[in-house]
Structure 1
Amino acid sequence: MVVRQLSEALVNRIAAGEVVERPASAVKELVENALDAGAKKIEIVTDGGGRRLIRVTDDGCGMTRADLDLSVERHATSKLTSDDDLMAISTLGFRGEALPSIGSVSKLSVMTRHASEPHAWGLTVEAGVKSEPAPAAFNAGTRVEVRDLFYATPARLKFMKSERAEGEAVREVVRRLAMSRPDVSFTLAGEERAHVTWAAALPGPAGRLMRLGDILGADFRENAVEVSAGREGLYVEGFAALPTYTRANSLGQYLFVNDRPVRDKLLVGAVHAAYADYLPRGRYPAVALFVTIDPREVDVNVHPAKTEVRFRDPGLVRSLIHGALREALTREAGRAASTGGDATVSAFRPAASAPRAGWDWRRSPSAPYPVQSFPSQGQSRGNAALGLAEAAQAVFDVGPAAASARVETIAPAPDALDKPLGAARAQVHDNYIVSQTRDGLVIVDQHAAHERLVYERLKAAVERDGVARQILLIPEIVEMDETDVERLVSRADELGKYGLVLESFGPGAVAVRETPSLLGEIDAGALVRDLAEHLAEWDDSLPLERRLMHVAATMACHGSVRSGRRLKAEEMNALLREMEVTPNAGQCNHGRPTYVELKLSDIERLFGRK
């Protein structure tokens, strides 16, 4: 075996494989350089998903002729002034590999002008071959243009995705960088996407939320709560969505360390743990959190793409993020996602209702007198003046009356109208409480709401002095599979913390001797079987606290007011008042909203009053 020195061109192409994985990687490196140069306005233009063209223009400080000539050389950077700077990196780019790596696999051109220079300078790099700097016409700042990316390494092109997919990856990179710097204006344009501009926002939380709303949507802005905490030189800021505003995947979690977008398992785990008490399985929170830490306390040099970091004190970071999120969610515990009310109003609109088939009020046996048939849409519109012939009137075809649609109306208490959840006015379908406020109405799911109340009582009782138990006069014997019996008996101590005392009763049964008094009269057999199913899904590595929360949530579900139970006016109002003072009452233990609020203005628009 012969050892030989690799050529400079091959070394650059190998480096390009690490740094420039796809067009989005090149965009990330170039935009980061622009931010490090102090740019306040950055424009990104792409074509072919970035494969045919990437152009990044900024109004930063620019470069002198000498700096430009050196910038496309390997490991040349302005970000590190001494060897000690590597231990305290405060910039986004510092490796000095971006421009030479990109230039080794594409046709690269750079134009720049520094304030100290009489004119701009430009140079080109094609497949690693650099030209001499030459005078150019350009305003202050820098423009980097990349054409025919990977043309010098055709094998890499085989692994490229479609232009649409690569363009979306570029958009996601720019979105993340735009979220990290709301003080900078970003413009993203290209043939594969509509032109978009995110204007610079004012400093402070309001400006940050405005930028996040522009990128993540108005729904996130309306359902976000502010997160802010600091300890021992570590700070976390940002916004987290309410537990009732969730996503089907974790792509809605945006995490930053010193304004650097990262995908760090430690941070993701802290977010997941903070929401564990709120979200159902398969749903993920939407957050945008910004961690600020002394550069000496974090290592950003652990990955060529700089997407991963390593903290000197990971426990401190995890606990601060977890605590900050829990404090913010508890502070806004009474809120439910606004999207529920919007969806409810939309469902009421006539356009959202399809004509019902199989029933016509004109042919009903209870019709008081015969009615002439109206023409259908396909017939002549000569009788168009007959309003019920209009297609939009299909919303009134509600079908035969349902026996379960019972409404118990209640006179409102005047002083209760000013409460956040108002005064109970009716119970619909023996499950939904309709309450009136000064400026709207609220629909409450009585089972989901009471489930959260019981859950919070159980947790408070455990933290205080333990859950009070009630001894069954005759122990209830529950037969089940032997494996389930073993699981329950092995967790008997944990179940006992919440007042459920059971023991093995032969190979295929357990005897329930005591139940939590908070739950009142319950079906102990159904509760034990549900717990056995949950235990089968537990991971042994799951922390004890999380396991206990699962136990409490299951017990709360069985001890809450069931759907179909008729409530008195006093009971409904008592439920509303307790919701207003109970933490996290805006969602049940499974992450579903406990109530939907409709503003009077929305209802008036629905009926054309506004």
Structure 2
Amino acid sequence: EALSSIAEVSQCTILSRAAEEEIGGKLVIAEGKKELFDWAGPTGTTVIVENLFFNTPARKKFIKGLKSELNRIKDTIFALAIANSNIQFKVNIDNKIAFVFEPADTLQRIAQIYGNEMADNLLYGSLSDLHCTIEGYCTKPNYYRSNRSLQFLYVNHRPVQFPYFNFILQQVYQTILQKGQYPAAFIFCTIKPDLIDVNVHPAKKEIRFFDNNYIHSMIYNFANKLISGTIHAFPIKHNDTQLQNKNITTASNANNYTDNNTPPLLYTQPNVNPQTLIHEAQHLYTQLHNKDYSVIGTIFGSYVLIQKENNLYIIDFHAAHEKKLFDYLTSIDSVSAVQQLLMPVVMELSPDLLIHIHSYKDILTKYGIIIDQFDEHSIVINAIPDFCNTNDIEGLMRDIVGSLHENKNSLNNIKIKIIEKIACHSAKRANDIITQDDIIAIADYVLSTNDYRCPHGRPFVYIVSKSELERFFKRS
């Protein structure tokens, strides 16, 4: 049925020869005409489809750009390759081999496509009853992705869309993963054909079960069994005898230790130069004397307190800094200053992610992230924006790659997501050193904007008025 439909809108050639035959056949189909020739090629069947939609120009107009169509092709091939791991899949793009997946078991095939890190963080299980068998893989509780793109359900080895599948996984992991974190899953359901309806969708992508609640509970129980079987408490065992015999020196016996004892650590008041404190205070005052607000200080290593007129502003520094960087990046055409890494970071990626990252290399370069191909499985990161944090470059890139996969069909969404990730990873975090200049820059930004939410949608300012405080303390 599918092959017939394809042949109607393309120039199609089918080459086929059975092992027991000396001569096979070559069928050429074009514009409704069929021609059959003898063919003495290798055993097996080859289907060649060329000039798709050449005879239906109206349909051809709906084809998206090259990158989008390649992504769709890739996703389709990957889904089929996982369901048929015993078959070799080889993909050429522009006469170059993009990837080759040799025959393997299911877990090895997942590793071929999505990398060894993914395969190493999967749990396997199975669950059966009278009507169906469910088996497959879910990620460990401590491993997650930034999107739902790797949540696959196969029914009788056909990749399908089940409306409740993502919701079921969310229910299982909701007490384990935080908001914005998603598990990966490769779940195979084997069920009697007469208990399902595959004719819901023309492409048979969707499926209707004889009882949705039954399948819902089966998938939930399967995934929950995997997760509950991996959560253990590992108590730390102390040597109580050693603790009891430990010679603990206190201030009261600090002068009584012998050569066999470790000298105590005593706290001494540091020498503070009063002139230094005065200088710091004067420096802060010099910076603030032209401002219409005053900085009270920082608390808990995360929040900045500012008073302006009769209002107290409590600012989440990380979220505010992230929003400030986000606004800056969206206002410029490209990042002008980058920092070349003294030690370039080599990062291994799965074949699907390699395709994504190279497809958007120009956009990454525009925002200061310069990458190159390192080998057939890896990229090398040579430079990042000058304001970007160098402590977790690989984490930044993994978040960016995940966003590219999630928003692969929207160029504008891709740009925004890249900017979001750069801003998030560049912003100062809790307990980072915050200078006076940092505080003033954030205070100026906060008091100049009316949008008090970071790119993730979280608020970063809480304003308390003097009258609110007086009402609370019953002073009004």
TM-score tier after normalising by the smaller chain length = 0.3 to 0.5
TM-score (norm 2): 0.48
